[in-house]
Amino acid sequence: MIDKLEMFMALAREGHFGRAAAAHGVTQPTLSSAIRALEESLGVQLVLRGARYQGLTPEGQRVLDHARRIVGEARLMQEEMRDARRGVAGHLRIGVIPTALPRIARLTAPYLARNPAARVSLLSRSSAEIRHGLAAQELDAGVTYLGGADPGRFEEIALWTERYRLVEPGTTAEPLTWAEAATRPLCLLTPEMQNRQLIDAHLAEAGAEAAARVESNSTIALLSHLATGDWAAILAEALCEGFALPPGCVAHPLEAPVAAHPVGLVVVQRALHTPSLRALIAQAHRLSER
């Protein structure tokens, strides 16, 4: 039953029988047979079918909610039993906002050092993608901005504070105002990224507006434009600390207003977590208390 529920979850996630089968490591006929067997055992139609997958029935959506909970409990039991024999040895999927990637080793490096058999996959995701991935059990944890939607649904542990710098060609890094930053030839992250939304809000607070001629969802693309010597970018402080700035560039602290936003570990609120996730949460608390 658990295997059938996992295949059903894969189909709901992928929205395509072939992709869901590949994601689960089975053939498409095997996945289709498993879905039909699940429907027969429950006595309801779960999937709308035509020439191709057309979505879930209302009953299918309810079963999906139960499936996520049941599969989550089964994974917890499996990891509990495995770790009872070997210690913490699970695999955690952690979504990380791009601006937190330069600092993520502050959390994961000591976690892995304490738990030599553990593994992590670090996946660059937007803040919205992280919370969706947690709810859908596609991620085990996220490092993102705190204070998002559904505060009662998630457990949050502050790790550090995100501040901002104006990076541009220059020789001295004197403080600048946000209004002054808006006059530069800016390249910025794309508008759907929460970092960009925060930057736009601080510019508006200063009575300014960003007229970015270059936008990207990749900080690497922004750094490549900075390297030409013709552009400026408003970047999270962690990016300025964690990577060498392009030659000839300086990072100005931004003030008026002084902007700061908490970033931390986010997990789904549950009575009991897997041993691996409990160990990561414990490491997050140690980092938070410094």
Q: What value does the mean pLDDT take over residues 85-98?
A: 83
Amino acid identity of residue 31, one-letter, is: L
The pLDDT value given to residue 290: 67
Is the pLDDT reported for residue 137 higher than 80? yes
Answer yes or no: CATH 3.40.190.10 is held by domain 88-160+262-289.
yes
**What is the pLDDT at residue 284?**
96
Mind listing the pLDDT tens digit for each residue in 146-192?
986 666 789 999 999 999 999 999 988 899 999 999 999 999 999 98
Confidence of residue 274 (pLDDT cuts 50, 70, 90): confident
Same fold, 1-80 and 88-160+262-289: no
If you classify domain 162-260 with CATH, what class do you get? Answer: alpha beta
Q: Is the overall model pTM greater than 0.75, yes or no?
A: no
Mean pLDDT, residues 30-55: 86
Q: Looking at 25-34, 180-189, 242-251, which range is the least confident one?
A: 242-251
**Domain boundary assignment for the chain:** 1-80, 88-160+262-289, 162-260
| Domain covering 1-80, topology | Arc Repressor Mutant, subunit A (1.10.10)
